[in-house]
Each structure stands twice: as structure tokens, then as C-alpha cells.
Structure 1
Amino acid sequence: MSRKPKTKAEINAEQLRIDSIRAKFLELDDEEDEVKYQTIVEYCIKNKTCFHDGEFLHCDDNLGKRILKAWKKKYKVKETPDPNYPISKTDKWYRVVPQGPKSAEWTIWHPWNIPYEIFQSRGLGNCGFIAALSAISAHKSIVEFVFRDLELSEHGVYQLRLCKDGEWKIITIDDWIPCIKGIMKGASLKATGGIYQIWPALIEKATAKACGGYKALYRFCAAVAMSTITGAPSMFPCIEQYTERVDEFWRILKDAGDKKYLMSCGTREKKAAKRELKGEPKIALNHAFTILTVLEIGSHRMLRLRNPWGRSAWEGKWSEEWTGWTDEMILKLHVLQKDVSGAYWIEFEDFVKYFRVVSICRWRADWYEIRLKMVIGGLWDGRQKNIWITVPKACEISVTAILPGTNDCYYHTWISIYEANASPHEQQILYCAPVAFSTEDVLLQPGDYIIIVSKFYHPAVREERNVVIHSSIPISARFCDWDPMKMVGIVQKTVEEKGREVVRQRDDVSIKKYEGPSFVVAMAQNYSWDRHLHVHTRISRIEGAKLSRGQQNVFNAVFGDVIPPRSSQILLVAFYVTTKKKDRDSMSIEYGLSKEKVTKVGRKNKAAHIPKIEPTDYIHHTIVME
């Protein structure tokens, strides 16, 4: 969803708010929400009326442009009106449970629930959110956790628990849902045996209210949707990042499928796909699907996907119309699998060709969580904090850092986890990398650890983060002081231990690259005793990258650094969500030893660091070697 640029006054007000934040633990206090619920119910009973939510009005602004556009005279409704929803063609809002005599049964959740069969309404562009709901529909315990209870409200008042921006909130809503010319436009379940389940439409409405209206659900990130509903950590590996390591990507998918994680996926953008895949079998592009199953059958690596439209969107190999089916594959992929409308099979080789990103939500009912609010970035003044955790016995943890108010995952946070009490030489670093949302699961042995949450892109600007520590057993946490140079030391030690050496000049110079699927870190070490190391780092092209030297969407940029004798420095960090390996290889490095203490880039620039390294660019500060 596009957002209006903030005014200068709004930016200043937001920065003042962030500057006032002090690190704290987040806990849900629902006493006030319980009083609110009882007050609303008592009012409705006394006045013999249904609930109209004054905090989320039945107005055009909350519907958004996508729904309002459908009210244009030329718009034709393609769906057939449901006789159990006698909606006037002039109504824009309608109660999800019709009032008066009913020829069908309505409920929040029913034992006859058919997993995955959540349907997207036409023209709303919210396929990512619906694909997430479809994945959740196979887990009744999630729905039970979200709702105050699973009882229908006569007066249409409901309370739902959502994890907005990493913080649990109770959202109170009424049961009025958007309509277009007699057609209900809320997320819907297939009516089974004359029974209508309304939980998808109510979760959709609660999310719309929490995020600023139904317009916010347009192109809503599926990973964020699943984490908002479950509170669990999510990851969204981009397939382009694994073009040279497709087997590793398959292992990620297979492991997530075996563990029954919630999963969805999205096809490529229309323009790029049509340009590169001319004449290929058709599939709905720029569209989200739910991943139902990940299977290996002999040499075949198969995925079963579901289209939220309720019909197959794939016309290639293993589609219903394909003529190459064998009796064995029909048995294993059709006869032994439950029928789901809109589901189809696709082979992994075709999947990586047509799809762009996968969202994996690691929801585990038996895991524990600690939630915190903190500020990262800016000049070190004592307000930035680290997190000290104590682990009583071996366990796994995952750390999530969320930038409030974004409704997407396209930002970064640098997360480091290391032993708290060991000496620098013996200290074990368990995790150190930039992440877009959550870390992987990290195995910790009994002991004390420190978690550093920081940033490298525009580090002078303070930003808010809601941090979640998920753990397989109960652990304890407290805040402790943040030391920027300790952070630099942890990053440099990680590159030293895990990096790939790309330059080695006798015993004088070492330059290493530490790489992950979505980042590259370059570091130079000057072992000489009396000469300065001059390094020029060139980026020929990285589309959509965020660089630690403050640039984005770079083409042919050069960064110059002079590293004193017996010192080391991080030269550059590049973090990206979607890019190909060839773009990562566009980083080249030139170097030389000299008595000169300044270097030259271009005709006029001459300094120790080009561009200048600011006091808040901690990650680029030099460290003297022992």
C-alpha cells in the first residue's frame, strides 16, 4: 500500500516521540479491554441495538479506493449473490451474520471446518492476506487464541487478540463487513452443509482496523499477516537469492513443510516474468498462494499450492490438464490427498522459475516469548540497550525485530548473539547478521548471552524496534548497557571467523567477505607495522540494496578508506531483499600499502575516508589489533 509522504512537522513529531522512548518490556494488560467489552454489551442490551464501532466508522475512508472503485457505474459484479445474504445493492456495509429468519447456520468456527478453503473476493488485491488466512485455517488452536471466545455475539461485538507491530493488542470490532452491489466482500469460507463460518471475515476486519482501514490490506505482506495473527517469527527467503543454491532452498522448504509451519508464496512481477518467460505455461503473476504440502516422491520434488480464488492457476507440468500423469503419481498426489478447491501440484524446478518469494511462519504452540520495546541508532547516549538473557538448559531461540507502522518486512536490523561472560578470545558468537524480520532458530547451551539489536543503514537516525525473543523453554531477560565498540568487535570477529578471504598479500594485508543469502560484509585488516592500507571498494550495481555508507540503488559508486597500521575496519555492508548472485559479485576491491594517511577518489576528493565516516557510523570504526 502506498503511503503519503510525511510533512516536515510530522517527521519532527515522530522523531520527538522516538527520542522519548526508554527500553521496556511489553506486556498485555487486558483489564481495560474487558471493561470496554462489558460496557458495549450492556449498552446494546439496554438500547436493543447492535454494535456500531465508533473507532472504525462505516465510512468510505475505511473502505479505501479499491472497494470504492467497484462502485463506478461501469463495474460489473461477476459473483452470483448468495440468497442467504439478502444485501441491498445500495449498501456498502452489511452484518456478517444476517438478522431475521435464517435458512442457514452461522458460527465463528465449526467442527466441519475444511482446512485451507478461504476465498478471496474479486478486485481487492489482498491475496497475500487471504493466503495467510488459508494457511492458518488448518489450526483451530490459533483461531481459539485470537478470539475472546468462539460464541456468536447477538449484538455483533467481538474482541480479537492481534500482534500488531510485534505487540499484543486487543482489537474490539463490530460485525459489519464491506459490500459491493449486493455482494459481501469479506474473506469467506466455503459454506459446508449450509453452515457459514465467519472467523476469516472478523480477523480480516480486526486487521483492517489495526492497520488503518481495508485499504491497508492491499498487497499486504503474507509474512506480516501470519505474524500479526500468530505472534510467531517469520522469514521470507527470496528465490533469486538461491539461484546458485537451489538444493539449499529446497531443504528450507522441505524442513518447513515437515514441521507443519505456515507457508505461502508469491509469483513474480508481471513485467519481468512476461519479458523473460515468453511462450511458457501460464500462471497468475504477481499473486499469492498458500503452500499446503512439500513432498519428495522418488526423483520428483513437488509442492502443492492453493490459489485463494478457489481455482487452479497453473497450466504447466502436473496440472490437471497435463497428459504425463502416471498411475503411481495419481495415487500419491490425488487419491491419497484430501480434495481442496483451488489446489494444484507444481514441480520444484517450475516453482523456482515462476515464483519470487516464500513466507514461512514458524508457529509453535509450545514455545515461549519475551517482548520488548527499544530504540536503536543515533549517537551513543545511554538510551540504547542490549538484552542479557539467561538460559537454564539447552534450548533454541529466535529473535525478531519489528519496525512499527510499516506493515511490511522491507527494512533491516542487525542482530548479534554472543556469550556474555567469556573472554574476547574465547567468546563464542552464535549469530551475527542483518535480518529483515527474524533470525533463524539458534541453539544455545546453558549460560548467559547478550543480544545486540542495531542498524547500519542511516545509523545517525534513531528508530524504534519491538523485539521478540521466542524460545523453546522459559528463559529470563533484562536490559544491559550497549557498547558500540563492543558491537564493532563482534561484527569484525564474525567476519574474521566466517568470512572468505578474497585478498592476501604476504603477512601484511587480508581482505575478507562474509556473505549470506541477503547480505555481503567486506572487511580489511592491515597487519603492517609502519604503512597505511588504502582500499577502494567499488559497487558496479546492486538494485534495491541498502548500504552502510548511506546509499541505495547504487550504480558505480566508489568508497575509499585508509586503515592505519595494525588495524582493521569494516569497509562496506550491503543488505538486499531481492537480488541475484551476479549483483553481489559486482563488489570489487582495490588496495595498496603506503606511507600516505589520505587517499584519493576522483579528481578532487582526498581524505582518510570517502565519504566521511561519521561518529554514528560505528560499524566502520577501526579497531587496533592486539
Structure 2
Amino acid sequence: MDLSALHAEEPCNSKMGPPHQIQRQNTLSIEEVREKSEQAAMEQWSQIIAFCKANNNRFVDDSFCPCDQSLFYDPKRKPDRHDVVTQWLRPEKISSMDRSEGSIRWTVSRNPAPSDITQGILGNCWFLSALAVLAERPELVEKVLLTKKVNREGIYQVRLCKDGQWQTVLVDDLLPCNSHGLLVYSQARRRQLWVPLIEKALAKLHGCYEALISGRCIEGLATLTGAPCETIQLQGKTSERLDADLIWARMLSSRESKYLMGASCGGGNMQTDDDVYNEIGLKARHAYSVLDIRSVRALSLTLFPRLVRLRNPWGRFSWKRAWSDGSSQWMEISQKERDSLMPHGAEEGVFWISLDDMMMYFDSVDICKYQSDRLECRIASFLPAHSKNIKVFQMEIFDATEVEIGLFQEGIRGNEKTNRSPVDLCLLVLRSAQGSNQTVGSLVGNSKRQVRSFVGCSMMLEPGTYTILPTAFNHWSPDAVRSLNCVVTIHSSKGLTANRISAPGYILADSIIQLALAKGTKHEGREGMTTFYLTQGWAGLMVVIENRNPDDSIHVQCDCTESFNVVSTRGTLKTVDSVPPLHRQVLMVLSQLEPSGCYSISHRLIHRLWATGSGLDDWGPGANHVPAITSEVFGLHTARPI
């Protein structure tokens, strides 16, 4: 028996074919999908257990061997302070930091709790924070760790959702330790294995432990639950004032819905001073679990403090200012309120903080919309590097239903040497066309356009047929040899079906035009001409021209040459186009290139009405478009009838 079959992708509810095949799927309940995967996993586990017992062997995972290759991208270039793993030990040989635990037997889990989690030397608090949030509901931890009991053979299965697809990961119980026999990476108190086993499964999925360094809590929540996730920004742009009441309402609503939440401290584009953060008991560029949200009544009856309870996954180092343990603010509320809030958790890294202070020092709150009664399906597809071979999804709704749609791109975590950056993602949901010149109807929903690992949107849909279009542009290139893999996920409150189908290339133009009409900023350039811009918050720029003149063309020069850290679908930052009468055209799509850096957009339009035949005349002799609209970009930039 080949024991190196270490993880397997799980189909949703029909056999997952390669991306070029048309697929039809019905949504299934989340629990039904999980039960099917557990059944298949148990069959695999039983076969390997039987093999090991028959040969009197203990399982060693050859594809994620107990060696430096499983620890680092390159064992010759180890990160600072990480050269401490000297041996890989099975649980019975691992020592405990707490000597009082020496008499406790090892177990997979015993009523897992957030306070069990202890971070090791790996900078993966983003994941441990998500794991701590999950442990607030121990039954969810049980759904991740499929193997419930310790076994001598050392064979365990963990169910994780990577890049939108569920995978069952097989691992052994050989864990990285130092020369004293202590675990080097994450661990759980009370001699539990659930934390290091889940961490090892994640490291295996991404190639090595080093690949787990740095991330956001939202990625951890999506990986552990497979549920739709979204982010509430706590920091606006310099000129943008955020609505604290709206933020509070969203957080409170999420808490009331029992969603899982995590918070990012001093990250994103915030300018932080580590010394300042340390002085007040916070850790910059660190992830925290959100445990509770409360609005309390002060004794004065004039104040209603809005408080958030957080946990540092380190299990220590807590907030020291207003509403921290022992602060004077606790005397402003009644003894009954104090008792209900239990303001004494600093020794375990648990503390209360006001919303105002949170918005000063934290950059975002991540929300995981896990609901066990939801239906789901997951369909593999790809994001082409041009407007050819566009794939869309046709969704049939039979009863009014709430729908959450996600788009996941192929991850780059675990590939240090990749030359590829994440692409810009955007999901569009449109009504299907009904006997018109267009390939799609009006826009009914969309995600943000972001250079992120995944995006999503939610909406309430009436019965009917809808088109889902995943888009990405910053990887477009006429020389591209392959498309990027992606996965579209659908969660709904009622049953629906989804097909992935081929579509005419210009469905891309029609869809972006509908997006611009619905969400773009309008500018009336001249009589019979409207320009639509999508820029602020759109990871770049989209420009659409509408020519309502019945007889005359409009010549348009679009100059974006002073833009920075963006790439154009036209291959240049300056274009000239002749837009025919009664047509619309997507002139240019600019996309942010490097997600970690800033980008700037500068655009200037010059236009004229042209009544003497086709062509650009002196703006582009003998041409209608400069640069020419090639077959690779035709589906996006061809003029479309109004």
C-alpha cells in the first residue's frame, strides 16, 4: 500500500472534472458534505491503520518527512532564531513545559478551549488567532480534526479548506522539538494534540512550516471553516472619516448571529511604533480573537460605553489602558454589570477595550459567517490571461434565498520562489439576458475589487436565472502560457443549481459596462456622451464611454501615463479610440500590481465629435483604435451596442 497518499481534494456533490468540462452542481447541506468526506476519510484511515498493524509499523509520512525540508523553504537559509529543531518526537516522548502535566495522558482533545493554545517560535498568530476563535465553539474544532482518539500508529486526518476547496490532510504524529524534548512550534496545554496536529496539516498543505509565517486572521477562519468571510475596515484613507456607529452595528449584528470574529492590530497601511504599542499592552502587526461585544450602561446614565473583548493568542500581554483589568473605568458601571463582564482575564491575554480605542490601534475586524444550516457548492474554474475562453456560471434560483458567493484564487503561500503576485479579483452577479443585444442583464450584486486571496459578496435573490462572472486583470498578457486556477463557492439558505458554461468573449465587456452603469461615477463630457469611472476602492481604474449620438462617432484619448504601480489591459497607459454611434466601450482597465505597495491613478480624457466616416483621422491615421484591439482583448474592449 502506498502510504504517501497524504491529502485529497473533496468533491462537493458531483465529480469534479478538469476546468474545461462543463459542470452542473446542486447545493448540498454543509453537514451532508462533511459527513460524506468523513466517510471517505475513515475508509482511507482504516486501510492505513490495518497496513501498519499488519506490519507492526508506526506511520511515517514520506511526503512530509521529519526533516528540514518540511520546516523551511530552503534548509540552507533558515530564518533567524529558527535553528532550534533538533529532533522530531512522537507524543509519548515529548516533554511538557508545565511539570504538573507530566502525569496526564496525551489525548487529541479534552474540551478544547482558546486558553489551551500556546504559540511557538513561528510567526503564525494569524492562524492561532483563528484557531482560538474556533475553540470558543469546541464542536467546530471537532469538525476540523477527523481523528478523535490517540492511536499508536500515529495516523491522523485533518479537514481544511485551501483556496476554496475542502481537503482531507493525512499526517503522522512526529512533531518538531528542541534538544530538551519540548515542542518548538504551537502546542496545547493539558497534553492535547489538536493544536500541533492542525498546524502540521496546514504546514503540509503549504509545503513547510516556514510558509505559515505572516497572514491575516480572515485566511485562518476561511481555512478552518470553509465559510464566507468578510472584513470590516477600522482605518479609512486620510480624507475618509469612518462611521463608528455603522461599524458598531455590523460588529454587534455579527455577534448576535454568532459569527466568528478576529481583529488585526496595527497592520495594513497603519504607521505604527512598536514601543508605543508595547507600552499600552498591544502587539503591532498581530492578530487577536474577538470574544464578545457589549454596550453597557454607566452609573451616570449619560454614558453607554461600547466594549469589545479580545484575546491575545499568546495567552499573555494585555491592554493596559481604559477598561483594562483594574482600570478606573470599571467603577463607572454597576457591580452587576462588572460581574457579567468578568474583567479579570489579563493573565490569559484576555481584555476589554472600547470601540474608540480599538479604532485607534486596530486596522480591521474579520468576520466568518459560519452557519451549520447553510447549503454549499464549490466549482473549480480558471481566470484566463486575456478575454478568450471566458467561463461564467449560470445559477438557477427556485425560491427566494440569501446567497453568499466567493471567488478564491490559486494561493502563493508556500512558494517562496514564485514570480507571481496575487491577482485582482472581482465577482459580478447579473441577471441573465432576456432577448436583448447584450449577453447579460443588469447588475444585481458584486464583490469589492481587491488584490486578495479571495473576495465575496452576499445578496437576497428572487427566483430566476443569474450569471456569475469571476474577473481578474493584472495578470493579462498576450504571452501568458496558462490561466490561473480559481474556485467559485456558493452558500445559500435554500437549494439552487449552478453550471459552469463557456460564453462569448464580449460577455466581459457587457458585464463591466453593467458594473460601470450601476456603480460608476458619471461625468457628462458633452451632449450625447457620458463617461463612467470606477476608481476609488476599485484596486485601479475602469473607464467606460457611452455614445448616445445617433449618427456621429466620438474620438477619445485616455491618458493615464502618470499612474503608478498599475498595469493596463491595453498594454499601454495611453489609448485613442473611436466609439461608434449608439455604442459603449470599455476604454481601459488599470489594475493594482503589487498588493503590499501603494498605487496612484491619474487619468485625463480628451474627446471630440466626429461626423466624417470611420477612423481616427489625425489622432491615428488609418486606425479606429490605438493600440489596436487584438483578439486577446477584443472581448473586453470591443464597442457594444446600447
Moved more, 465-474 or 264-273: 264-273
How far apart in 2 are the matches of 1:478 and 1:197? 44
TM value normalised by structure 2: 0.78
Tell me whether 1:524 sits opposite 2:545 in the alignment. yes
Q: 2:492 aligns with which of 471, 475, 480?
A: 471
How far apart in 2 are the matches of 1:104 and 1:275? 43
Structure 1 pair 592/278, CA: closer, same or farther in 2 (3 Å)?
A: farther
Q: 1:570 aligns with which of 579, 586, 589?
A: 586
Moved more, 196-205 or 206-215: 196-205
Tell me whether 1:615 sits opposite 2:631 in the alignment. yes
| Deviation for aligned residue 1:52 | 1.8
Aligned to 2:300: none
Q: 1:360 aligns with which of 367, 377, 386?
A: 367
Aligned to 1:454: 471
- Unpaired stretches in structure 1, ≥5 consecutive residues: 1-17, 76-89, 552-556
Tell me whether 1:430 sits opposite 2:444 in the alignment. yes
Structure 1 pair 54/523, CA: closer, same or farther in 2 (3 Å)?
A: same
Is the 1:71–1:180 Cα contact (8 Å) retained in structure 2?
Answer: no
Structure 1 pair 592/550, CA: closer, same or farther in 2 (3 Å)?
A: closer
Residue 294 of structure 1 aligns to which amino acid in structure 2? I
Tell me whether 1:591 sits opposite 2:588 in the alignment. no
Aligned to 1:319: 324
Q: 2:196 aligns with which of 174, 177, 201?
A: 201
TM value normalised by structure 1: 0.79
Is the 1:220–1:407 Cα contact (8 Å) retained in structure 2?
Answer: no
Structure 1 pair 617/315, CA: closer, same or farther in 2 (3 Å)?
A: farther
Identity %: 23
Is the 1:41–1:157 Cα contact (8 Å) retained in structure 2?
Answer: yes
Secondary structure, in 3 states, of the residue corresponding to 1:532?
Answer: strand
Aligned to 1:244: 241
Q: 2:400 aligns with which of 380, 394, 397?
A: 394
Aligned to 2:457: 440
Tell me whether 1:307 sits opposite 2:304 in the alignment. no
Residue 533 of structure 2 aligns to which amino acid in structure 1? K
In the TM superposition, what whole-angstrom CA distance separates every residue of 1:40-62 from its partner, at most 9, and x where no partner exists?
31233334443222221100111
Tell me whether 1:258 sits opposite 2:256 in the alignment. yes
How well do the aligned residues superpose, as a CA RMSD in angstroms?
A: 4.0
In the TM superposition, what whole-angstrom CA distance separates every residue of 1:264-305 from its partner, at most 9, and x where no partner exists?
222335996246997984631121111222333454333222
How far apart in 1 are the matches of 2:268 and 2:502? 48
Aligned to 1:6: none
Moved more, 414-423 or 133-142: 414-423
Structure 1 pair 420/261, CA: closer, same or farther in 2 (3 Å)?
A: same
Structure 1 pair 272/401, CA: closer, same or farther in 2 (3 Å)?
A: closer
Is the 1:456–1:617 Cα contact (8 Å) retained in structure 2?
Answer: no
How far apart in 1 are the matches of 2:617 and 2:266? 43
How far apart in 1 are the matches of 2:593 and 2:260? 21
How far apart in 2 are the matches of 1:267 and 1:518? 24
Structure 1 pair 494/509, CA: closer, same or farther in 2 (3 Å)?
A: same
Is the 1:223–1:361 Cα contact (8 Å) retained in structure 2?
Answer: yes
How far apart in 2 are the matches of 1:421 and 1:592? 31
Is the 1:60–1:68 Cα contact (8 Å) retained in structure 2?
Answer: no
How far apart in 2 are the matches of 1:456 and 1:527? 28
Aligned to 1:103: 103
How far apart in 2 are the matches of 1:124 and 1:97? 23
1:323-402 to structure 2, matched below 5 A, reads 323-328=328-333, 332=337, 335-337=340-342, 340=345, 341-378=348-385, 384-402=390-408
Structure 1 pair 357/330, CA: closer, same or farther in 2 (3 Å)?
A: farther
Residue 604 of structure 2 aligns to which amino acid in structure 1? I
How far apart in 2 are the matches of 1:141 and 1:302? 27
| Deviation for aligned residue 1:213 | 1.4
Secondary structure, in 3 states, of the residue corresponding to 2:148?
Answer: coil
| Deviation for aligned residue 1:612 | 5.2
Structure 1 pair 427/69, CA: closer, same or farther in 2 (3 Å)?
A: closer
Secondary structure, in 3 states, of the residue corresponding to 1:232?
Answer: coil
Residue 444 of structure 2 aligns to which amino acid in structure 1? L
How far apart in 2 are the matches of 1:323 and 1:577? 48
Is the 1:118–1:200 Cα contact (8 Å) retained in structure 2?
Answer: yes
Secondary structure, in 3 states, of the residue corresponding to 1:466?
Answer: strand
| Deviation for aligned residue 1:207 | 1.0
Aligned to 1:52: 60
Tell me whether 1:534 sits opposite 2:564 in the alignment. no
Residue 246 of structure 1 aligns to which amino acid in structure 2? D
How far apart in 1 are the matches of 2:250 and 2:160? 27
How far apart in 2 are the matches of 1:288 and 1:534? 48
Tell me whether 1:412 sits opposite 2:424 in the alignment. yes
Aligned to 2:11: none
Aligned to 1:286: 285
Is the 2:427–2:446 Cα contact (8 Å) retained in structure 1?
Answer: yes
